[in-house]
Structure 1
Amino acid sequence: MAPTTLCGCLPARVALALLCSSGVIALYLVRINLSVAIVAMVHVPSTKNVTRDKLCINNREELSSIDMVQGPSNSSYEIMSSGLQEEQIPDKIIMTSMEKGSILGAFFYGYFTTGIIGGRMAELYGTKRVYGISMLMGAILTFLTPLAAKTHYAFFTTVRILMGMLQGVVYPAMHSLISRWIPPLERPRFISFVYVSNCLGVVITLPLCGVIIEAVGWEWAFYVPGIVSVVWVVMWALLMHDTPQQHPRISQAELKYITDKLTQQSGGGTKPTSIPWKKILSCKGLWAIAIAHAGNMYGFNLLNTQLPSFMDGVLGLSIKKNALLSSIPFLSRFIGSNCWSWFGDMLNTKGFLSIYVSRRLFSAIGMVGNGIVLAIVGFVGCNEMLVVSLLALGTFCMGATNAGYASNDLDLAPNFAGTLFGLTNSFGFGFAMLAPVVVGALTPDQTPEQWQAAFLSTSGLLILCVTVYLIFADTEIKPWNFASPKEAQDEKEEEERQEFIQKHSHGSAVSLQKL
């Protein structure tokens, strides 16, 4: 999956990181756009009157489309879009809070089902095909989303589920790529730069969609990301190579360096011809990774699907300001991830920390730190800058997990990196997809008290999951990563037999031509 080098001095794996990073940004353009667009396209009727002292009224003066309608004599107020009743809002799609949460969560209903398939397909057929086809079909569904949203709730839900299924293959496929391209000690840095480019995707998508929606309407918040995805697919098809050996312009020095480092990690062992499912599923270290991933992704999904709704419902920000401030924590996570990974690599390379200690330490920093911050955020009130600053601190800490558990499955079995990541990612997102639904159920009226419950429950979950990981974490490479001696010998004999057949066939063809 390596791109063509951009110049003679740029290593192929660095160019690979740049191409993959841009792909992750494009991936998130079509995933996260709904989080902002749904604020403009959906109206959620309040289930009860909300008292003035529980809303950030000063911020609501920024909203030209919001009127305050005085309620009964108890001086409570109900927020209504344009001061109109539901049936008088022609440009809005009417949904309950639960339906809105379900639509935001529908992507993940599909996402968690295809991770294992994606990882295994990439191991067999290469990441170039798996990632490229996923992005192209995802772009088509993105173009279709406005029509689906206006047609029927079920159609809308189906499109989002299908998009989730397509994107579910991407990260496991990239994990397979890493096992073929990236030396072990460079993997945390590569994962942080490439994988956490999803935060750059969010940082770009939220403000961009806010501007687009104000300028030309919410439908174009889907059309523009779709166009970007198509352009990226063309670049991917032209520049991508699945292995260093297939790269037409990689230097011999870099090729030798990558090959030597990967051989050193494997000890010269041979990859098995079949997947040892029983041994994989009984590996406690792998399940520790899956549990940590489930908790961390729940917290991340709470932010990337519900943060704009929190900014709108509690802080009452305009769509443009909402989108801008909502993007800041994700930029902080990207910066934090790369800082922590660089720091972790330095400690590991110089021998200050073992891989085992490093994985556990950075997982604890990422999940406990973010958990503490989320517990505080719910009690801050209407101070929007303090809210954003705290969330940015929490996501900066969250970035440490990429030097922690997120790199751990590559330690256990690099030959099955795609399959293992597909398993842990499917498990993690199978649980994390509950985040928008649970938050929707906990915050029907978007009051600060309801959001306190949402943040506190997420904080407790993060700390619980990382505690399980710290107890059961494992970094030793597993024997089932390699073929048994008999299987390796059989494979060698088969390769020799095929080589003999090819030589014999070639000789026969030459003889026939002479005749």
Structure 2
Amino acid sequence: MVSDRRSSFVSNSKFKGKMFGHRYLQCLLLFTGFLLIFALRVNISIAIVAMMDNKAANPDFPEYAWSEQIKSYILSSLFCGFILLLIPAGGWARRLGGRIFMLISISLNSVLALLTPLSVSIGGWPLLCALRFTQGLLQGLTLPAVATILAKWAPVEERSAMQTFIYSGAQLGIVVMLAASGKLCSSRWGWPSTFYLPGALGLIWSVFWYIFGASTPRDCKRISEEERNMIEKSLGHDKKAVNEKHPVPWKRIFTSKPFLVTFVNNCASDWCFWTLLTQIPSYIKSVLGKDINSNALISALPYLCMFTLSIILCPVGTWLEKSKRLNPTVSRKIFNTIGLWGPAVSLICLGYLRQDQGDLAIGLLTATITLSAHVNFGFMVNHLDLAPNLAGTLLGITNCFSNMTGIIAPVVVGYVVTETTNIHQWRIIFFLSAGITFVGNLFFLIFGTAKVQRWNEPPREVTPIEQLEQLVDSLGEPDKAAEAPDEEDDKKSAVEQSAV
């Protein structure tokens, strides 16, 4: 089946000669959309440092005397809203199309970002938490929407490259926002500009998405017929297949060991990721004693390295899979081990550094976040390995629960680190993150697999003729009647796996 799809793609030589298809425009728009969503998500990490100590940035703007506990509530409020719509949004996007949800999410997020400085001056931190909660609620629509759009637009031969490029927009958004925030906070526009700039850019993006965005090639008026036919042939479906509903086998999913292992690893990785993302600016300022400008640039450095490594690893991972040098399961476990145990080691080393070893601390922070890029070829791609037909649903489930760490981790830091200059309290946070990532990968090494699961395929209705044949077989061979269904399942599973 896959070879037939690839041959149909290659045989379309007339279209192959074109340098830029409309699917690449969709890919570019989704990449910039992810960039803006994460810029709107992380801008508070630098802004809140200036909001609580504005004398170090720009004394012309208000300063707020919030405790570390209140600060942790503000940082975690977005995630409280984010996790609520991840699972239902997948079904909504499948029925209504991902285009409308991307438009709603980014446009309304941008409006709320523009209203943030005014909201803080009117209602203080409670209103800020409510606003960030609403932004998180809207951002919960993006991941299922992108997965749904990508499933319809990306040919089989280009899927991994397009997915990697789109999701790398998140890392670049973190880099751009963290790097620019320091300059913005100390500029004449002060910390409110960290909300105004991404908010304005988000509204501009929404206009372009409204004009050029489309949920599927069939919904796009500007795409050529050649490109649309090529995409649909590569994916192996016609119009009827595109609209086919796949029932979700919830019980079989939540009782599947390989899925539960992927779920645990997603939670472990996100605990480390969000702990560092939300707390690095405070650690750099309080422990390393860096000013707001250096803080922002240093905070952005690890994510710039992570973005660069992700782009480099994409062709490497593809080459390893195509060359068959590594079994897919072995490949997943190797990348996952580097992406989780590597950061665990660097976090333990970070916990033993002294306050005067600032350069080494920055190097270890950079290594921790950069090495985590390997998980994109470990448990992250495992959603597609286990159930290609349900990858979007699986991703929504795991991200829903793993992003709860974005709520819990900052709160834990707020209660453990009561004195931000106390390096021993920070050591507890680093050791906790290292332990969680170590245990997560240990489970993946033991129980992880890249084999397609039986519940990937929807239940097939047995025709009357097949029922009659099964009845005749059971009457003719009563000793094997009980074994027939299991043998039939094994045959179907083998055929399905070879086809995928």
Tell me the TM-score normalized by structure 1: 0.79
- Provide the rounded CA distance (Å) in 2 between the counterparts of 1:289 and 1:184: 23
- Provide the rounded CA distance (Å) in 1 between the counterparts of 2:112 and 2:62: 22
| Aligned twin of 2:396 | 422
Are 2:412 and 1:438 aligned?
A: yes
Contact 1:119 1:419 in 2 (8 A): yes
The structural deviation recorded for 1:388 is 2.2
Are 2:235 and 1:262 aligned?
A: yes
The structural deviation recorded for 1:309 is 0.8
Pair 1:220–1:294, CA change in 2 (3 A): same
**Which residue of 359, 367, 373 maps to 1:385?**
359
- Provide the rounded CA distance (Å) in 1 between the counterparts of 2:340 and 2:79: 21
**Which residue of 452, 455, 459 maps to 2:427?**
452
| Aligned twin of 1:348 | 321
The structural deviation recorded for 1:485 is 2.6
Pair 1:392–1:243, CA change in 2 (3 A): same
**Which residue of 135, 147, 151 maps to 1:175?**
147
Pair 1:184–1:431, CA change in 2 (3 A): farther
- Provide the rounded CA distance (Å) in 2 between the counterparts of 1:354 and 1:90: 58
| Aligned twin of 1:406 | 380
Contact 2:274 2:405 in 1 (8 A): no
| Aligned twin of 1:14 | 24
Pair 1:122–1:272, CA change in 2 (3 A): closer
Pair 1:153–1:438, CA change in 2 (3 A): same
- What's the CA shift string for 1:392-418, capped at 9, x where partnerless? 222221111111111111222333332
Pair 1:479–1:249, CA change in 2 (3 A): farther
AA in 1 matched with 2:318 = D
Choose 17-26 or 281-290, whichever is displaced more: 281-290
Contact 2:275 2:410 in 1 (8 A): yes
AA in 2 matched with 1:363 = N
- Provide the rounded CA distance (Å) in 2 between the counterparts of 1:487 and 1:236: 44
| Aligned twin of 1:28 | 38
Are 2:439 and 1:464 aligned?
A: yes
Aligned-residue RMSD, C-alpha: 2.8
Alignment of 1:108-127 (within 5 A): 108-127=79-98
- Provide the rounded CA distance (Å) in 1 between the counterparts of 2:25 and 2:359: 37
| Aligned twin of 2:205 | 232
Alignment of 1:7-406 (within 5 A): 8-42=18-52, 65=56, 91-150=62-121, 151-184=123-156, 186-215=158-187, 216-248=189-221, 250=223, 255=228, 257-263=230-236, 271-381=244-354, 382-406=356-380
AA in 2 matched with 1:196 = S
| Secondary structure at 1:152 match in 2 | helix
- What's the CA shift string for 1:113-146, capped at 9, x where partnerless? 1110222211221111111111111112212222
Choose 29-38 or 474-483, whichever is displaced more: 474-483
Aligned residues: 442
The structural deviation recorded for 1:213 is 1.2
- Provide the rounded CA distance (Å) in 1 between the counterparts of 2:169 and 2:142: 13
Pair 1:445–1:428, CA change in 2 (3 A): same
Unpaired runs of 5+ residues, structure 2, are 1-14, 465-500
Contact 1:276 1:480 in 2 (8 A): yes
The structural deviation recorded for 1:371 is 1.4
Pair 1:105–1:204, CA change in 2 (3 A): same
Pair 1:256–1:473, CA change in 2 (3 A): farther
| Secondary structure at 1:433 match in 2 | helix
| Secondary structure at 1:38 match in 2 | helix
Contact 1:131 1:173 in 2 (8 A): yes
AA in 2 matched with 1:14 = Y
Unpaired runs of 5+ residues, structure 1, are 44-62, 67-80, 83-88, 490-515
The structural deviation recorded for 1:249 is 5.0
The structural deviation recorded for 1:107 is 1.0
The structural deviation recorded for 1:487 is 8.7
Tell me the TM-score normalized by structure 2: 0.82
Aligned-residue sequence identity (percent) comes to 30
| Secondary structure at 1:486 match in 2 | coil
AA in 2 matched with 1:209 = S
The structural deviation recorded for 1:314 is 0.7
AA in 2 matched with 1:329 = P
Pair 1:311–1:185, CA change in 2 (3 A): farther
Choose 90-99 or 452-461, whichever is displaced more: 90-99
- Provide the rounded CA distance (Å) in 2 between the counterparts of 1:273 and 1:101: 40
The structural deviation recorded for 1:22 is 0.8
The structural deviation recorded for 1:167 is 0.8
- Provide the rounded CA distance (Å) in 1 between the counterparts of 2:368 and 2:156: 28
| Secondary structure at 2:271 match in 1 | helix
- Provide the rounded CA distance (Å) in 1 between the counterparts of 2:396 and 2:404: 12
- Provide the rounded CA distance (Å) in 2 between the counterparts of 1:40 and 1:487: 65
